[in-house]
Amino acid sequence: MHTLLLIEDDTVVRENTAEILELSGYNVLTAPNGKAGVATAKNNLPDIIVCDIMMPELDGYGVLEQLAAEENTKHIPFIFLSAKTEHKDIRKGMDLGADDYLTKPFEESDLISAIESRVAKASILREERKRKDLGEDDTSSLRSLNDLKNYVDDHGNALTLKKGEAVFEQGQHSNYIYLITKGIIKCHKIDESGKELTTALYREDDLFGYATLLQNIAHQESATAMENTELIVVPKEELKEVLNNNHKVNFDLINLLSDNLEETKNQLLQMAYGSVRKKTAATILQFAEKMNKKPDEPLKISRNDLASVAGIATESLIRTLSSFSKEGLIDIEGRNIKIIDIKALAHID
Amino acid sequence: MHTLLLIEDDTVVRENTAEILELSGYNVLTAPNGKAGVATAKNNLPDIIVCDIMMPELDGYGVLEQLAAEENTKHIPFIFLSAKTEHKDIRKGMDLGADDYLTKPFEESDLISAIESRVAKASILREERKRKDLGEDDTSSLRSLNDLKNYVDDHGNALTLKKGEAVFEQGQHSNYIYLITKGIIKCHKIDESGKELTTALYREDDLFGYATLLQNIAHQESATAMENTELIVVPKEELKEVLNNNHKVNFDLINLLSDNLEETKNQLLQMAYGSVRKKTAATILQFAEKMNKKPDEPLKISRNDLASVAGIATESLIRTLSSFSKEGLIDIEGRNIKIIDIKALAHID
DNA sequence: ATTAAACTATGACATTTATCACATTTAAAA
DNA sequence: TTTTAAATGTGATAAATGTCATAGTTTAAT
């Protein structure tokens, strides 16, 4: 049985959450403020710590800082709870080395799954640290992009985003690269007149944020979660280190970028000369490919998002969807879209 | 005084060309067919060979093949002359190891400059071969993209293209990467209905063809010279070898790709929501930046090419140019366009 | 369960832009 | 230089698409 320390100043939230966690099979310790939390952590060395940020006496950042300074406690997985959704706060937590970051209010299941995956990962990392102490090195043997992803998965920190939350915004500097473990992220740009265009979609197992990988320039686009999404975050500096020791991964990264470039250029061609019908069809197919686990599942995306990928007015998109529906190419079920005739869609116009 | 061997079956062309070359200060040997050419080359070991492709007895490819097989003659720079402009012929020559490839009819000055640069380079390479024989290695010290360009410049073969000639075509496999030493190259895609969109412009000192660098897939776009252009061509396999030994260059290449991607995405945004006026203005500025050595030089590009970059109908572009001219933003001098008010163009709409 | 907010759908209309046809100009070739 | 082909310019027109207004639906929040 794992021991969990919950640091939270709001009594109601603390007791409710503790109960949930106990029911899930954890041995739960609680602390009503940061100072008490640090003391409890040092005395009991829990397997994982869940900690609010806004607290009297000592806030969450302070708790993390103090625990990170001690050899005994620095490896304990640390999950932040916060009502703040501002990106700079999240980044502050990440910079300090938090392992995950949940925004309140959260679902029970989100919390549980975050805790479980962190506990599991921590034990793997303990093994690795042992090996490393024995002189083995784990960064010189990456042979492919997949290895890189595994590396990121093992060495990165998690970040849980709700639908609509931003990973980064156009103009911000970011020092991270991201791997999606669950959900969908869209990258989008906004032009002067406020129109939004989605320039890329990423899904589970995709890497993103590498456009500015080696240069320290600001992001030229924003990245936003289209559904509840879990990311692994790795500092670019660390990644550079890894790349330096692994040519093969460099090549894979170059390929990844090339692919991206090709894809973007194709989108460009279509954007320039494609009719609304064509753009609409292509966009539906693109989403189907990116989002769907099962082939016959209906698409759940707002018309707005679809229009933003297609680069057309929302109303034009809606009209086109209606006519596709009349022609029997798709089925509109409430807000969802079900593809009926893939081939015909692929050969529109 | 350098000795030059000219192999050409057409007597008139041979004698004229020989005279030109003698006046340029070369000691010229001639041969009327491939067989005689090979014999003369072996006996006299000229400093450079200029050879027609279509010849009786033994064609140009055969000559090159035979000379490449001999230790004594394999390092002599070899320039092909050909009436053929088909790309596969050029590639055949390149694959065999020709150092340059001129298509007939050629300008005197083109031929002279091709010869001179090859003779100069050959002496540098002779030095290098000596060093290499002594055990020094020249591929392990590249530190930047600039070094890579220098490497390509030193180790690649030249290719001279006339305005309108293709470097590669959509769908072709290519095993080369290209460095432009003079001129402008456009990369363009064609959609099903035959409309052409220019997706990238490259100028002197730019590297291109790296989109498929590490993967052996066909080109997704065509590349065509917009003016008389000189390229350096390096086989991808050789380049991979180099990249393997030079991390720093990998990083630079990754940056290059990232930049490209950003630029393409910006074009995408504009393509999606920009008005014709905006696209036209942006395109003029883009060309001005890419093509002009001096700031006040007028642009010499066809309306067609401009429209292809902007992704609009040629007539629409022409109309917009007219109105820009009336508004005093540009000056139309015959076919050329002179920018008058850069700032206003940058802030159209 | 009710209400509010957000999203979707549709009509009417204005605007933009492509297309076609043809005149005019420019550059290249004979 | 003259001829010819290619490129540019312009008008008329139709098609495509965006915009605005408004009504109906769905989802989420109280």
Please name the residue whose C-alpha is nearest to the C1' of nucleotide D6: B302
**In this predicted structure, what is the pLDDT of residue B208?**
92
Q: What percent of chain B has pLDDT over 70?
A: 90
Between CA B212 and C1' D8 the distance (Å) reads 38
> SS in 3 state form for chain B?
CCEEEEECCCHHHHHHHHHHHHHCCCEEEEECCHHHHHHHHHHHCCCEEEEECCCCCCCHHHHHHHHHHCCCCCCCCEEEEECCCCHHHHHHHHHHCCCEEEECCCCHHHHHHHHHHHHHHHHHHHHHHHHHHCCCCCCCCCCCHHHHHHHHHHHCEEEEECCCCEEECCCCCCCEEEEEEECEEEEEEECCCCCEEEEEEEECCCEECHHHCCCCCCCCCEEEECCCEEEEEEEHHHHHHHHHCCHHHHHHHHHHHHHHHHHHHHHHHHHHHCCHHHHHHHHHHHHHHHHCCCCCCCECCCHHHHHHHHCCCHHHHHHHHHHHHHCCCEEEECCEEEECCHHHHHCCC
Query: Are the beta carbons of B268 and A273 separated by less than 8 Å?
Result: no
Q: How many CB contacts within 8 angstroms connect chain A with chain B?
A: 123
Q: How far is CA B309 from the centre of its chain?
A: 20
Query: Which one of A170, A174, A186, A268 makes the best mutation probe of the B interface by having the most chain B beta carbons within 10 Å?
Result: A268
User: What CA–CA distance (Å, rounded) separates B218 from B47?
Assistant: 37
The pLDDT of residue A139 is above 80? no
Phi/psi of residue B82, nearest 5 degrees: -155, 145
Query: Are the beta carbons of B247 and A251 separated by less than 8 Å?
Result: no
**In this predicted structure, what is the pLDDT of residue A262?**
87
Please name the residue whose C-alpha is nearest to the C1' of nucleotide D10: B319
pLDDT band at A308 (very low <50, low <70, confident <90, very high): very high
Q: Between B208 and A239, whose confidence is greater?
A: B208
User: What CA–CA distance (Å, rounded) separates B211 from A170?
Assistant: 26
Mean pLDDT (whole number) for A223-251? 84
Between CA B175 and C1' D30 the distance (Å) reads 66
Query: Are the beta carbons of A258 and B215 separated by less than 8 Å?
Result: yes
Buried b (16+ CB within 10 A) or exposed e, A74-84: eebbbbbbbeb
A-chain CB neighbours of B260 within 8 Å are 261
pLDDT band at A138 (very low <50, low <70, confident <90, very high): low
**In this predicted structure, what is the pLDDT of residue A248?**
76
The pLDDT of residue B275 is above 70? yes
Nearest to B273 among A195, A220, A268 (CB): A195
The pLDDT of residue B107 is above 80? no
pLDDT tens digits along B203-227: 888 999 887 776 767 788 899 988 8
Q: Is the CB of A335 under 7 A from strand D?
A: yes
CA distances from A240 to A95, A213, B213, B244 (A): 17, 8, 21, 16
pLDDT tens digits along A72-84: 888 888 888 877 6
- Closest CA in chain B for residue A198: B269
Nearest to B254 among A191, A254, A265 (CB): A254
**CA-based nearest residue to A209, from A270, A143, A159:** A159
- Which residues, in sequence order, are bridge partners of residue B11? none
Please name the residue whose C-alpha is nearest to the C1' of nucleotide C7: A302
Q: Is the CB of B11 under 7 A from strand D?
A: no
Contact B184, B151 (CB under 8 A): no
pLDDT band at B36 (very low <50, low <70, confident <90, very high): very high
Query: Are the beta carbons of A264 and B265 separated by less than 8 Å?
Result: yes
- Closest CA in chain B for residue A187: B265
Phi/psi of residue A203, nearest 5 degrees: -130, -175
The pLDDT of residue A70 is above 70? yes
The nearest CA of chain B is from the CA of A89 a distance in Å of: 27
Q: Is the CB of B276 under 7 A from strand D?
A: no
**In this predicted structure, what is the pLDDT of residue B151?**
84
pLDDT band at B141 (very low <50, low <70, confident <90, very high): low
Is the alpha carbon torsion for B52, B58, B62, B64 positive or negative? negative
**In this predicted structure, what is the pLDDT of residue A158?**
87
Mean pLDDT (whole number) for B147-168? 85
Query: Are the beta carbons of A265 and B221 separated by less than 8 Å?
Result: yes
**In this predicted structure, what is the pLDDT of residue B178?**
92
What would the two tokens of residue A312 be? 């057309």
A-chain CB neighbours of B223 within 8 Å are none
- Where is average pLDDT lowest: A245-249, A267-271, B222-226? A245-249
Q: Is the CB of B342 under 7 A from strand D?
A: no
pLDDT tens digits along B88-103: 666 677 667 777 777 7
- Closest CA in chain B for residue A267: B268
Contact B111, B4 (CB under 8 A): no
Query: Which one of B269, B283, B306, B349 makes the best mutation probe of the A interface by having the most chain A beta carbons within 10 Å?
Result: B269
Contact A106, A50 (CB under 8 A): no
pLDDT tens digits along B280-333: 999 999 888 887 666 678 888 999 999 999 999 999 999 999 999 999 999 998
R_g of chain A, CA atoms, integer Å: 23
pLDDT tens digits along B172-201: 877 788 999 888 899 998 887 778 889 899
User: What CA–CA distance (Å, rounded) separates A228 from A240?
Assistant: 29
B-chain CB neighbours of A214 within 8 Å are 251, 254-255, 258
Mean pLDDT (whole number) for B20-28? 88
Q: Between A10 and B319, whose confidence is greater?
A: B319
**In this predicted structure, what is the pLDDT of residue A91?**
66
pLDDT band at A136 (very low <50, low <70, confident <90, very high): low
First CA to last CA distance, chain A: 62
B-chain CB neighbours of A272 within 8 Å are 195, 197, 271, 311
What would the two tokens of residue A334 be? 């409430």
Query: Are the beta carbons of A250 and B250 separated by less than 8 Å?
Result: yes
**Which residue's structure tokens are 């490919």?**
A289
Query: Are the beta carbons of B258 and A213 separated by less than 8 Å?
Result: yes
Query: Are the beta carbons of A261 and B261 separated by less than 8 Å?
Result: yes
Q: Any residues with CB less than 8 A from the CB of A62 and at least 6 apart, and which?
A: A34
**CA-based nearest residue to A3, from A37, A38, A36, A30:** A30
- Closest CA in chain A for residue B270: A191
Q: Any residues with CB less than 8 A from the CB of B30 and at least 6 apart, and which?
A: B5, B6, B7, B8, B14, B15, B18
Q: Please name the nucleotide lying closest to B279, CA to C1'.
A: C17
pLDDT band at A298 (very low <50, low <70, confident <90, very high): confident
> Residue B2 carries which side chain, given as an amino acid letter?
H
CA distances from B205 to B70, B153, B178, B212, B242 (A): 34, 10, 10, 19, 19
pLDDT band at B257 (very low <50, low <70, confident <90, very high): confident
B-chain CB neighbours of A251 within 8 Å are 214, 240, 243, 250
Query: Are the beta carbons of A269 and B199 separated by less than 8 Å?
Result: yes
CA distances from A324 to A112, A304, A336, A337, B325 (A): 43, 17, 14, 11, 44
Q: What percent of chain A has pLDDT over 90?
A: 26
pLDDT band at B28 (very low <50, low <70, confident <90, very high): very high
What would the two tokens of residue A135 be? 């002189």
The pLDDT of residue A238 is above 60? yes
Q: H helices of chain A, where?
A: 11-23, 34-44, 60-68, 87-96, 108-133, 145-155, 236-244, 247-273, 276-291, 303-310, 314-326, 342-346
Query: Are the beta carbons of A267 and B270 separated by less than 8 Å?
Result: no
Q: How many residues does chain B have?
A: 349
Mean pLDDT (whole number) for B56-67? 87
